[in-house]
Chains A and B, each alone.
Chain A
């Protein structure tokens, strides 16, 4: 099987209605580095996309037996990707090296991510690149307050592109910026200046790109550290969306990888819909290189190693963005699973 980092990356562009997704996509596609990208859109809007390969998908969702809304397979998306893949293999379309998926404004991005990770053909040819969320500087604060889709789109993002800052008032834009940083501190916040963005920054530097993954993890951890120190100094209960909590768990002792896998799969089974993001760097017992984990709701990407620790701190640090789950309970639970494994190991050693 092809190494995960060498699979074709799929980038998801999401964002609320009117937040500038199509405008962003159009600008991005003009960039020479995206000449080799295929694009899937939910609807052909008023803004025509000028690109060699743009396919439309019709929304057709299948809810799985578990009944969890984020574990919904988007059949339309699955079929569209598989068909494009077959055409690429047969040489009927130019060989694309990236795929970009634009969602509808009211879309919950979770079923899209779940679909990408649940089909065996897709999993063997593609990997998730970054989730890019557009947030409109004029209406963003209102949308985050009133629309759960908007909160979800911002919470699962790897990159947030702030649009329409040229027509928004500066104070409102700053409040929005602060709100987004607190909602999802490790997402990179990028301002589209007159609609222009640094495309390379958006698409090239993702966590599975061997050239940039170390810097990306360092950025996550620094953003989290900053968020934690801000948090201790302000205590404004209204600053987050009422139910969304963002926190970092830090473990001094090395974690047992098997116990961690048992714990995280069980947590996501029971609460995956509420675990919007989990990502971080682990110090795993018996393993020298740090391990990076990255998950969105029920989907966990294959863990990977960094060549070296990004800083002097060699403790496990796991960032959670959750909907109404207590930090203390998550921390106590993981510690208990890890301690049970350590106790078993001690018993086994004593018996030898």
Chain B
């Protein structure tokens, strides 16, 4: 558990393995880890725009998810928790099969 925020910590999530080192079965370390996190957050925010929310890094180990008004926010440690957080904040299911979300992502290409 994080002594500052009380969030229960776990080992690295399977999605947190980077690709720049040429392997995905080992979590990256140091600067590479931060670059991977920044890239992940950038892509997450492409999706969260559909829900009127954003995510930002916190202490290189957690994500702060909040709605655009800033009125609701949650701290999470991995992607499965992040999707649950979107649901808690927006009362909408974070669903990648939502055709409106798919259309939004396809529109970027």
Contacts and interface: CB of A to CB of B under 8 A. Distances in A.
A262 B25 contact: no
A32 interface: no
B104 to A, nearest CB: 9
B25 A305 contact: yes
A287 B26 CA distance: 13
Given A269-B94, A329-B97, A339-B109, A344 B46 contact: yes
Nearest to B16: A261
B23 interface: yes
Given A266-B94, A339-B105, A286 B79 contact: no
Give the size category of B's interface with A. 35 or more
Nearest to A272: B80
B47 interface: yes
Contacts of A332: 102
B42 A344 contact: yes
Interface in B5-36: 10-11, 14-20, 22-25, 36
B20 A269 contact: no
A302 B27 CA distance: 11
Interface in A294-347: 298, 300-305, 325, 329-330, 332-334, 336-337, 339-344
B11 A1 contact: yes
Contacts of B97: 267, 270-271, 325, 329-330, 333
Nearest to A271: B97
B44 interface: yes
Nearest to B37: A258
A263 B40 CA distance: 11
Given A287-B24, A303-B14, A340 B108 contact: yes
Contacts of B22: 286-289
A303 B17 contact: yes
A259 interface: yes
A128 B10 CA distance: 18
B47 A266 contact: yes
Given A258-B40, A300-B14, A284 B24 contact: yes
Interface residues of A, number: 48
A343 B14 contact: no
Interface string B60-102: 0000000000000000001110111000000001111101001
Contact of B24 (A1, A303, A340): A303
Contacts of A304: 25
B25 A261 contact: no
Contacts of B19: 257-258, 284-287
A269 B83 contact: yes
B96 A266 contact: yes
B43 interface: yes
Contacts of B108: 339-340, 343-344
Contact of A340 (B43, B83, B95): B43
Contacts of B20: 286
A66 interface: yes
A214 B83 CA distance: 33
Nearest to A120: B10
A123 interface: yes
B2 to A, nearest CB: 15
Given A304-B25, A339-B105, 12 more contacts: A123-B11, A258-B36, A258-B40, A261-B15, A261-B40, A265-B80, A266-B83, A268-B80, A289-B23, A303-B14, A343-B108, A344-B46
4 closest A-B pairs by beta carbon, nearest first, are A261-B15, A269-B83, A265-B79, A270-B95
25 contacts: A4-B25, A123-B11, A257-B24, A258-B36, A258-B39, A261-B15, A262-B47, A263-B96, A264-B15, A265-B15, A265-B80, A266-B83, A269-B83, A286-B20, A288-B22, A289-B22, A303-B17, A305-B23, A333-B102, A339-B105, A340-B43, A340-B46, A340-B108, A340-B109, A341-B43
Interface of A: 1, 4, 66, 120, 123-124, 257-259, 261-271, 284-289, 291, 298, 300-305, 325, 329-330, 332-334, 336-337, 339-344
